Chain A
Amino acid sequence: GAVVSQHPSWVICKSGTSVKIECRSLDFQATTMFWYRQFPKQSLMLMATSNEGSKATYEQGVEKDKFLINHASLTLSTLTVTSAHPEDSSFYICSAPQGSYNSPLHFGNGTRLTVT
């Protein structure tokens, strides 16, 4: 079945540095991908919608300059957390729909980011 690969699974970085997280659709093309954030014991919160070949659409309250999204190809979207701070520590998950609107989403395994 369709798989979404997310890398890395976990990363630890120092405050002030930037971290890039990759999300790949392995056996299907995805013109749209979604980035979520999950705080401990809380639900997934949509951060932004990544669109291949155009700018990402950010949800209200999400800083565009802090969470840079690049969707350079039909199988890859990246999320870069710039100038990371401890409050950015969280679980980041990407997903991609296989097919048309209302198609089920396939989720990556997530990336646990810890900023020290």
Chain B
Amino acid sequence: AQRVTQPEKLLSVFKGAPVELKCNYSYSGSPELFWYVQYSRQRLQLLLRHISRESIKGFTADLNKGETSFHLKKPFAQEEDSAMYYCALTGAGSYQLTFGKGTKLSVIP
């Protein structure tokens, strides 16, 4: 069975401080990992996916198969980063996503 774990429900950081949102997964095959973000009163949207290896809004995430992790990082947090972040997983050849419980990031001015 596939599972995504986000151990932190809430993460508060000061503006300008580094951010790391943790995500660990359990999957028997080769997973596709994603980070989705939901800003206040907006729809859920894709932030980044591991296969793209890109940086969006200063965020990066590296898939570590040895540690089965896909932590989301940003070197300097900004107030507009405050949102709900969901880590998600899908298997090869599949559309279906399994979501973590989400982490609420609060950036303190």
Contacts and interface: CB of A to CB of B under 8 A. Distances in A.
Interface of A: 4, 32, 34, 41-46, 49, 93, 95, 97, 101-105, 107-110
Given A102-B92, A108-B43, A43 B99 contact: yes
B32 A110 contact: no
Interface of B: 9, 32, 34, 36, 42-46, 49, 51, 86, 90, 92-102
Given A43-B86, A109-B43, A104 B49 contact: yes
DSSP majority for the B interface? loop
8 contacts: A34-B95, A44-B99, A49-B95, A101-B94, A104-B46, A107-B36, A107-B45, A108-B43
Given A34-B96, A104-B46, A107-B43, 9 more contacts: A4-B43, A43-B86, A43-B102, A93-B44, A102-B51, A107-B44, A108-B43, A109-B43, A110-B43
A102 B43 contact: no
Describe A's contact surface by its main secondary structure.
strand
Contacts of B95: 32, 34, 49, 97, 101-103, 105
B51 A105 contact: no
Contacts of B43: 4, 107-110
